[in-house]
């Protein structure tokens, strides 16, 4: 909790516009980069809603369960993401508490909020949000991820209430769904048209609602760490996971969000300390960064 309140304090110092420092990046810092959306690249998928686990065939369940174990194995291949998760939650928690005037000392401060987690993967963000009291809808274009997420969330009565759907943000808009807050963490760098995607996020957000986006900066450091180190040297990610040219700089993100009717209010960077193996929030947004934005009252 002490850590969380430190984050709260740090956050107040972080402003929107940053000058990027294109400094040489040592290989040690290679570990700064991680993306959980590696496997959630939107792909053309059959439009069917995923079915509940009980109706699945046994061998399929067993297969998905085996993968679910690796998604959720905190010592496994997704370990860096598990380590990073509390850090981004600290940012999201404090920003949402402040925006929606919720009690930050409550154990379930997000109670009463409807939140969409776009590109939810195995549900690593959806589950903590549900534990914090939110009513969560997790969507991912990859059916496999949705099944894994459902299987894992079903283990705990608190998280079993999360609604997981194999769909896309665009389709949710078509269905006319809206949420108090929309999360799209490590997703925007994978979409074909970021501007369209942001318009969809805006359409999903209620007036006065919040949008949280995290991604990777299009900086030299990000190129060195997210692509050269993570994909080629450390092989955390399959080659070709990220296209450097499709990354957005914080300025660009602010602009396209603005055009979609969303105003960025806070931005923070994530930095990885290879010695302690922990991530922390910082005002260095040159590689991984997260933005908290709100939708103004009078849009479209």
Q: Which of residues 93-112 bind other proteins (CB under 8 A)?
A: 93, 105-107
Using CA atoms, how far apart are residues 235 and 213, in angstroms rounded to an integer? 25
| H/E stretch holding 40 | none
Which range, of 35-43, 123-131, 193-201, 208-216, touches other proteins by CB under 8 A?
123-131
Q: Is 242 in the site for other proteins (CB under 8 A)?
A: no
When binding is defined by CB under 8 A, the residue of 83, 173, 220, 255 that contacts other proteins is: 83
Describe the chain by its helix, strand, coil percentages, rounded to 5.
40, 20, 40
CB-wise, 63 or 171, nearer to other proteins?
63
Distances (CA, A) of 152 to 69, 156, 205: 9, 8, 27
CB-wise, 3 or 206, nearer to other proteins?
3
φ, ψ for residue 48, nearest 5 deg:
-75, 145
The contact mask relative to other proteins for 14-53 (x = CB under 8 A, - = no) is --------------------------------------xx
Using CA atoms, how far apart are residues 2 and 102, in angstroms rounded to an integer? 19
Q: Is 170 in the site for other proteins (CB under 8 A)?
A: no
Beta 135-139 vs 262-273: how paired, if at all? unpaired
Using CA atoms, how far apart are residues 170 and 161, in angstroms rounded to an integer? 23
Per-position b or e across 259-271, b if 16+ CB within 10 A of its CB? ebbbebebbbbbb
Question: Least distance to other proteins from the beta carbon of 74, Å?
Answer: 5
Q: Site residues (CB under 8 A) for other proteins?
A: 1-4, 52-54, 58, 61-62, 65-66, 68-69, 74-75, 82-83, 85-86, 89-90, 93, 105-107, 127-132, 151-152, 154-157, 160
Annotated binding site for S-adenosyl-L-methionine: 88, 119, 140, 185
């Amino acid at each position: 909790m002490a850590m969380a309140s430190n984050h709260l304090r740090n956050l107040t110092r972080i402003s929107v516009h940053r000058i990027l420092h294109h400094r040489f990046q040592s290989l040690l810092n290679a570990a700064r980069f991680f993306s959980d959306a590696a496997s959630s690249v939107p792909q053309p998928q059959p439009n069917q809603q995923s079915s509940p686990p009980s109706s699945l065939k046994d061998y399929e369940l067993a297969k998905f369960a085996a993968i679910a174990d690796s998604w959720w194995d905190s010592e496994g291949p997704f370990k860096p993401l598990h380590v990073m998760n509390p850090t981004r939650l600290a940012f999201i928690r404090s920003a949402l508490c402040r925006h929606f005037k919720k009690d930050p000392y409550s154990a379930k401060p997000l109670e009463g909020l409807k939140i969409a987690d776009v590109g939810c993967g195995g549900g690593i963000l959806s589950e903590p949000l549900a534990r914090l009291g939110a009513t969560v809808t997790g969507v991912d274009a990859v059916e496999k991820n949705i099944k894994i997420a459902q299987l894992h969330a079903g283990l705990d009565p608190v998280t079993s209430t999360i609604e997981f759907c194999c769909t896309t943000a665009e389709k949710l808009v078509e269905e006319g769904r809206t949420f108090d807050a929309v999360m799209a963490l490590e997703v925007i760098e994978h979409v074909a048209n970021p501007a369209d995607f942001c318009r969809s996020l805006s359409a999903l957000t209620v007036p006065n609602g919040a949008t949280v986006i995290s991604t990777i900066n299009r900086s030299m450091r990000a190129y060195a760490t997210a692509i050269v180190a993570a994909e080629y040297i450390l092989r955390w990610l399959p080659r070709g996971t990220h296209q450097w040219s499709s990354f957005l700089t914080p300025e660009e993100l602010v602009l396209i969000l603005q055009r979609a009717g969303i105003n960025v209010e806070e931005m923070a960077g994530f930095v990885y300390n290879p010695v302690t193996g922990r991530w922390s929030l910082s005002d260095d947004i040159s590689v991984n960064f997260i933005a908290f934005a709100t939708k103004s009252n009078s849009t479209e």
